[in-house]
Structure 1
């Protein structure tokens, strides 16, 4: 599925590097799709956090990659190494999709890749990024920003969100979900734009919601109310709301809407159903209602989402590139 190159030099942080290596290094079990050819690129041996790392290839090989990942940069008060900045810029000019994790955004900004673009980084450093690079539109309120060929993520765990997003773009939601299951994380999290809360069903069999939530998910095409859920759970609406807050961090109605939107995404990605049919299948009633909630939650209309996230055909065996959104 193309080459992913991790761009490393002295001063990188190991957490974000490890996240990218874990996601792109090996395909999840039982996933029969061509996986990524992963390479660590850097100048000889480098210090990553407290560890010494021997790169596979030099930084000059970044320009041959389909996707370049720039992990977090430790000292944001200092300019990143010129050789790293130049190599990342050259890779993008050669057609690579370039993504930064956490404070790796400072490297992309130094390379001029974020000029005139919306971007994000760790919340503790968004002000510094905006002050140092005033041509960058810094958004401190999102987990990641996808500009097509240039992507940035917020701090730490958001690096995983962005890596899963890249897998979702390349392979579709089913494969990205398989990677997320292997890592024991939700495939999507709340955080703005094309993301929303994915709330797991409580694992304990004796949890008050353990039987209710699967029951609801099987009936998303029906006009369920909080009273319906409370009646099924054999508790008051107030008690139901309290259990939902504890288990999912949100209200019953918001959780229900999230599940309807998730189901709509799956149908948009994997079927040819019309928006009207998807609205009926997800309990939204009308296409107008679906479009309103979908656009507000995901950040784009259903038709746009379908074009961007529809399962892509596999590349020909002799095709060394990978699909990239532009």
Structure 2
């Protein structure tokens, strides 16, 4: 059922009503309330949520915190990249400011001192992963569609999504990062983005239990659901091995299986620079020790992508023209054309 904001949920004083809060017993509820934009995040929204989390961390009457998305479509479709594009085209650094504030929120969630329960119902993409996957209990549902789709818009998998991509079994992480493929709730559990799969109908009763002071754990749901994605590792793992995006694409295009060749065709539609950077970002994240360290990498990459990247063009194609305008004019036509030193330079402060 679509979540409707309860009348008892209110905005934080002095902040936008695009994030609402409700105290139910010992539970502090965060409700992202921008349903027409699938709760896409803005700087005022993340600032409001961060301040509220800081207050609840010091409130002894709050035992747990939860986050949900208002409306029929899902938790959160990411950051407001259309606004980021407009600011970037005008030479303003609004995007840099937004990412910095967003990453502070993600870091706070990852280190939160109380149980932070994310209901990952419906669409959970980009920034939606940041406000959910770093929580202490991540509950996916039969409606979950999770993705890090940034290569399509000329960006990279940020919000420390690479922390989880790097930990996914086999070569699933590079596959998801480069292709931007969306996965099911069962897949989210299998890849480590979620802890358990529940029915969306169970959410109200779980909220009641949290409000009563109960500390939930993954046993509230299925912790090992059958994952369609894991059944594809027979071609994903051998094709996505290594650090060279061009070699990976060549393997996919030469593969006997239709799924592998179709995946290659999908990746060919993405920004070549973004595809190459996404692979490198996952590989580097595999050597990092914390979400905070991955977020610092994201800050460096964000600055470079703001200065010169395919992001304005990708956002135009996907989010502004919605695929009905002129095809994208990427900085490089093919992944094979992207210089290795350019990719490496994106990671240098």
**What is the TM-score when the length of structure 2 is the normalising length?**
0.31
Q: Answer with 1 or 2: which has the greater Rg.
A: 1
TM-score, normalised with respect to structure 1: 0.32
